[in-house]
Structure 1
Amino acid sequence: MITDERIAAYIDSLDKELPEFLRQLEKKALSEYVPIIKKPVQSLLRFLIANKKPDSILEVGTAVGFSSIFMSQYIKEEAHITTIEKMEERIRQAKENRKTAGKENQITILEGDAADILKSLKQQEKMYDMIFMDAAKGQYLNFLPDIFDLLRPGGLLISDNVLQDGDIVESRYAVTRRNRTIHFRMREYLYALTHSDSFETVVLPIGDGVTLSTKLVK
């Protein structure tokens, strides 16, 4: 969306092939207009997991389970992924896909509203090495305080779709009326991350935009 289409297509052609099950899941999700992580974000996640070697990952926004199953291909055998989803039909599909992939021991699906579940996890004093934010875009800023508390010092927060297909640079009046609130909140979220004394953040113009934020050790 931001890089030249020919360059993006060439880079995608260099990427590793997905395992057959994930390839079919990706194809089905795209045909049904289910939002899943794009090829550049897949490559980035694979690289970051290999680099950080997280023992625990929290994902906010499961959808049909594509990204959690994808990440589970690269984590250590003893590592674990916890993922949150509130839509009943997507929970059903995610559980089915998790079972088919043989990942029931590595992936836990928490059912319900992320705002409530994040607070519950915080009360349980859970901590995660890596958090992948891929939920309702207008809620990112609302989730951030709890996300911060759930992330270990030195841990990595990855936020997807932050540049909104390039619309983030537009005036709010150039954005369709139904997207203006999300546009405003995402700008606030990006400002909060990039101006925080508690995170070191980089914004990457890949896919629909990704931020990488390291929680600083005080």
Structure 2
Amino acid sequence: MENIKIKTARNEMMDRPVVKKEVVEFLRTRQKPLSGKLGEIEREANERRVPIIPHETVVFLNLLLGQIKPEHILEIGAAIGFSSSLMAQHVGENGHVTTIDRFDVMIEKAKKNYEVLGLTEKVTLLEGQAADILPTLSGQYDFIFMDSAKSKYHEFLPECIRLLKINGMLVVDDVLQGGTILLPDEEIPKRTRAIHRKLNSFLDTVMNHPSLESSIVPLGDGLLMIVKKEEIELSSLRPL
């Protein structure tokens, strides 16, 4: 695989699992590895500490998407194109994945990965800020995967729900923040306190909304699974 230097801030949550470390090690090493070129991309990313979804989440999404068989998928946060490539395996002959990213280096790497995997016709990468792009999208998605800036989750929620089909699923990654989501504000470092508050506000909105069904799965740094049960007044989802 061609190497492109990707400069990313160290994500300390990658080393703070929300379940016991030995359980995480079991989930990451004992479950079936991906085969072929996609497996090579996953292994290279893990070796280089490029932030992609961990293997336990890979296995879970593979199983989930294989059962629900979505045709139209939206992703917020393409990174190197790994998760969108994984999801593209499940959309069928007439399905499509649309993904969004704003970082030039990530976009370049994602496009090269789509070429390597033969997915250039199956995945559309929209370049720019999700806050600007989401309102321009129309149509209905069966499945949405949000793995972007955690401070923006609540801001993006109304647009995601607008774009989601009734009984469609929105999956949001990294909602437990290495377990620190449980801590009071005063125990959170000042530099991350605003993110902590916004993420808690987001979780409160989703988990208490009468028109959404949700469940948190302790895989990776926490997956929040949301099903839209009926049409929703979007103002009820916006941050206060």
- Under TM normalisation by the shorter chain, which class is it? over 0.9
Determine the C-alpha separation between the residues in 2 that align with 1:150 and 1:31.
Answer: 35
Deviations 1:9-55 (A, max 9, x none): 22333422212322332233334443210112112211211111101
Map of 1:4-153 to 2, 5 A cutoff? 4-121=20-137, 125-153=138-166
- Structure 2 contact 166–229 (Cα < 8 Å) conserved: yes
Match of 2:176 among 152, 157, 163: 163
- 1:154 is matched with 167
The answer to whether the Cα contact below 8 Å between 1:85 and 1:111 also exists between their aligned partners in 2 is yes
Unaligned runs of 5+ in 1: none
Secondary structure at 1:130 match in 2: strand
TM-score, normalised by the number of residues in structure 2: 0.85
Counterparts of 2:107 and 2:76, CA distance in 1: 13
SS of 1:105 mapped into structure 2: coil
| Cα 1:31–1:173 shift into 2, 3 Å | farther
**Cα separation, partners in 2 of 1:51 and 1:29, compared to 1, 3 Å:** same
Query: 2:14 maps to what in 1?
Result: none
Matched, 1:175 2:195: no
The CA deviation at 1:92 is: 0.8
Mapped partners of 1:134, 1:214: distance in 2 = 17
**1:155-180 deviation line (CA, Å, top 9, x unaligned):** 00000000011111112222222111
Whichever residue aligns with residue 30 of structure 1, its letter is N
The residue identity in structure 1 corresponding to 2:105 is E
- 2:204 maps to what in 1? 191
Q: Is contact 1:34–1:63 with CA below 8 Å preserved after alignment?
A: no
**Matched position secondary structure for 1:154:** strand
Once the two structures are overlaid, the 10-residue window that deviates more, 80-89 or 27-36, is 27-36
Deviation at 1:105, TM superposition (A): 1.2
Alignment-mate amino acid for residue 167 of structure 1: T
Identity of aligned residues (%): 36
Q: What secondary structure does 1:173 align onto? A: helix
- Matching residue of 1:217: 230
8 Å contact from structure 2 (residues 72, 141) kept in 1: yes
Query: Is this contact kept in 2: 1:63–1:85, CA < 8 A?
Result: yes
Which one is further off, 176-185 or 25-34?
25-34
CA distance in 2, matches of 1:73, 1:119: 27
Given residue 56 of structure 1, which amino acid in structure 2 is its aligned partner? Answer: H
Does the aligned pair in 2 maintain the 1:50–1:75 contact within 8 Å?
Answer: no
Q: TM-score with structure 1 length normalisation?
A: 0.93
**Count of aligned pairs between the two proteins:** 215
Describe the SS at the equivalent of 2:213. Answer: strand
Q: Which runs of 5+ in 2 are unaligned?
A: 1-16, 232-240
Q: Distance in 2 between matches of 1:2 and 1:145?
A: 28
Task: Give SS of 2:106's match.
Answer: helix
SS in 1 for 2:185: coil
Question: How much does 1:89 deviate?
Answer: 1.1
Q: Quick one: distance in 2 between partners of 1:5 and 1:76?
A: 36
**Alignment RMSD, CA only?**
1.4
